[in-house]
Amino acid sequence: MADDNSQTRFKAVCLTLFPELFPGPLGCSVTGNALKQGLWSLDTLNYRDFALDKHRTVDDTPAGGGPGMVMRADVAAQTIDAGLKIAPNARRIYLSPRGRMFDQEFAKELALEPELLLLCGRFEGLDERAIEARQLEEVSIGDFVMTGGEMAAYCLLDAVVRLLPGVVGAASSLDNESFEANLLEHPHYTRPREFEGLEIPSVLLEGNHKKIDEWRQAEAEAITKLRRPDLWQKIEGNE
């Protein structure tokens, strides 16, 4: 899928039953432009291409009984091994609702990696032996369950790729975003000056940058206290 570019800063390989879903939204906007420019690369592998029977079976019934199906360890392992031939230095991530919670600090951490191998699960999940044998790191994007890991891969890669050098035009625009220093972002305004009886706060129009910075800081703190008391507790704990 990606061009063979030895200068690519960051490489992602997604293992999936639906490779046609990629690059999907990652092929648009700044992530798509960066993909075209070779700032990062994206490859996919289909689990079914590594199935062991003519029916290309990738799942089977759960050991011990129960509903649904489970992805086979042997098929998953062969797909992972093929992915590691593309990205031998990849950090191996299995997108799973029981994994470590993905957040902005984790995105920054992953943006320093040269390669990521992302396993998009389906069915009831992946045979635990594949997770253990291939030393997979389980990562969750939230406390909810989806039909597969592809959408989670979109979220993770979008958050990571935009942090890579050269992807976002003005790197300084990343400095005051939500979750920097555990704060949610302050409100934003632009033209027109008045909209349906609502006006831009006057402090933003007076040209006093010190007061503007103070207003933005105060607004960010107020919003964080109201909407994310868990983040505010982290701030108070660091004071």
Q: Are residues 128 and 94 in the same domain?
A: yes
Q: What average pLDDT does the structure give for the chain?
A: 94
> What is the DSSP secondary structure assignment for residue 162, as one 8-state letter?
T
User: Residue 162: which of 69, 28, 67 has the closest Cα?
Assistant: 28
Structure confidence at residue 6 (pLDDT): 47
Residue 13 contacts residue 118 (beta carbons within 8 Å): yes
**Residue 180 belongs to domain spanning:** 176-238
- How many Cβ atoms are within 10 Å of 56's Cβ, its own excluded? 13
β-strand partners of 195: 198
With beta carbons less than 8 A apart as the criterion, state whether 72 and 127 touch.
yes
- Which of 102, 131, 161 is at the close of a domain? 161
Regarding whether 130 and 27 lie in a shared domain, the answer is yes
Domains in the chain: how many in total?
A: 2
Same domain membership, residue 135 and residue 24: yes
Residue 148 belongs to a domain with what CATH number? 3.40.1280.10
CA distances from 39 to 9, 168, 227 (A): 6, 11, 35
**Do 22 and 130 fall within a single domain?**
yes
Residue 115 resides in a domain: yes
Query: Which DSSP letter does residue 62 get?
Result: P
Full strand arrangement of the beta sheet holding 10-16:
40-46, 10-16, 115-120, 91-101, 137-140
pLDDT in tens, 21-70: 999 999 999 999 999 999 999 999 999 999 999 999 999 999 999 999 99
Question: 185 and 157, same structural domain?
Answer: no
pTM above 0.85, yes or no: yes
* 232 and 150 fall within a common domain: no
Kindly report, residue by residue over 163-198, the tens digit of the pLDDT.
999 999 766 566 656 677 889 999 999 999 999 999
